Amino acid sequence: MKSISTRIWHLGAGGDQDEQAIREAAAMLREGGTVAFPTETVYGLGADARNTEAVADIFRAKGRPSDNPLIVHVAAISQLEELLEPWSELAGQLMKRFWPGPLTLVLPARAGAVSPLVTAGLDTLGVRMPRHETALRLIAAAGCPVAGPSANRSGRPSPTAAAHVADDLAGAISGIVDDGPAGVGLESTVVELVPGGGDGGREAIRILRPGGVSAQELREVGEVLEDSGWDPGKQAPRSPGMKYRHYAPQGRLTVVAGDAERVTAHIRRELAEASRNGLRTGVLTYEEHKGLFEADLVAVCGSLNDLETAARGLYAALRAFDAQQIESIWAEACPVEGIGAALMNRLLKAASGHIDQV
Ligand code: TXA
Ligand code: MG
């Protein structure tokens, strides 16, 4: 691909300087550029969702398969009126409860409202309003619906820092708005609504991708159907993106689950054998366990006692294995409560389903 120069704005100076940067980035979006921006989940790669050439540039830069639709980011509910068919009461309640925030709603699209590349030919559109001040200001200033997949090369871990975006996409996109680390660290929860799917013929919620909003939280608003939880093997590939290998480091990753002591013993044995065989080894573990392992890279994603920290650190840890050319990696499973469900889901996807149950 022909290399272009990528403009980088570093925010954080505050006041006028940040305002000026956001104005410039918004102008770039309006003029058909591709601009990476922070959200409360991961960095996204934005383009005007109505501009087919700009959207095509997103797919090209990421190397993303064209049958995988993009979600569209808005800064206000009023922006949705031209994008969607009138939405149901349940959809409205979910927006009210979780927006701005890490929930993507897949809803019936208004024909012709966005480039057909965005929806990959589906008659639905995934929409979300991020809970991130810079993202909201950028979208509002651009004045257009912003299509935005995660700002990584397809198949790589999603970027939780601007440096990750630059590693993957510098020279392939127009700009990067650097506003420090992303929040949750894992992507939004994607749901669709099923008319008549719930008790008493009520509309129900189906989770297509677990994420920053948990099934428990969704249940406070409506019925959640056949919660497939964290297990990617049980998920129907209803969300086109879920069928691709994802988030994966270059080395071979195996998740190890079971009784804590047996997990440690198993990983230690596997590490010893792999290094005898001359492989570069890695472990993905937690603050509490990091002293238990010897490997070429012991990567800590966060604390077992606070899985939110582990969610924030997961993708950076996966990237670190690549940076050090680690060939064989073992990852400790985590409890699948709350954000742990999304964390385990991403770990298993990164492992392409390889799990040692001990
Ligand atoms: O947190 C996030 O959602 C981040 C930030 C940047 O907002 N974005 C993100 O986008 O993760 P992406 O493209 O990496 O993942 C979007 C997922 C994909 O699995 C895609 O297949 C699914 O949402 N999706 C998008 N539109 C859909 C639709 N109309 N029907 C079903 N699934 C859809
Ligand atoms: Mg992605």
Structure tokens at 201: 């013929």
Measured in Å, residue 150 CA sits from the centre of ligand 2 at 4
Mean pLDDT, the chain, whole residue set: 94
Do the beta carbons of residue 317 and residue 301 sit within 8 Å? yes
CATH topology match: 7-178 vs 252-357: no
What is the structure's pLDDT at 318?
96
Helix/strand/coil for 201: helix
Cα atoms in the Cβ-side hemisphere of radius 13 Å centred on 272: 7
Cα separation, 202 vs 186, whole angstroms: 30
Q: Of 3.30.1280.10, 3.40.50.720, 3.90.870.10, 1.10.3720.10, which CATH number belongs to 7-178?
A: 3.90.870.10
pLDDT in tens, 34-89: 999 999 999 999 999 999 999 999 999 999 999 999 999 999 999 999 999 999 99
> Residues lining ligand 1, judged by CB closer than 6 Å?
39, 41-42, 44, 68-71, 102, 104, 106, 119, 122, 124-126, 130, 148-150, 187-188, 190, 208-209, 239-242
What is the structure's pLDDT at 44?
98
Please choose, from the candidates 72, 33, 23, 352, the residue with its C-alpha nearest in 3D space to the C-alpha of residue 169. 33
What is the structure's pLDDT at 241?
64
Helix/strand/coil for 15: helix
Measured in Å, residue 321 CA sits from the centre of ligand 2 at 19
Q: Where are the domains of the chain?
A: 7-178, 252-357
- Atom 7 in ligand 1: which residue has the minimum CA distance? 44
Distances (CA, A) of 155 to 63, 210, 253: 9, 18, 14
What is the structure's pLDDT at 13?
86
Cα separation, 307 vs 263, whole angstroms: 18
Class of CATH domain 252-357: alpha beta
Cα separation, 325 vs 305, whole angstroms: 29
Structure tokens at 41: 């989940």
Q: Any idea which residue has 């030919």 for tokens?
A: 121
Residues of the chain where predicted confidence (pLDDT) is lower than 70: 1-2, 226-229, 234-245
pTM score, two decimals? 0.95
Cα separation, 217 vs 110, whole angstroms: 29
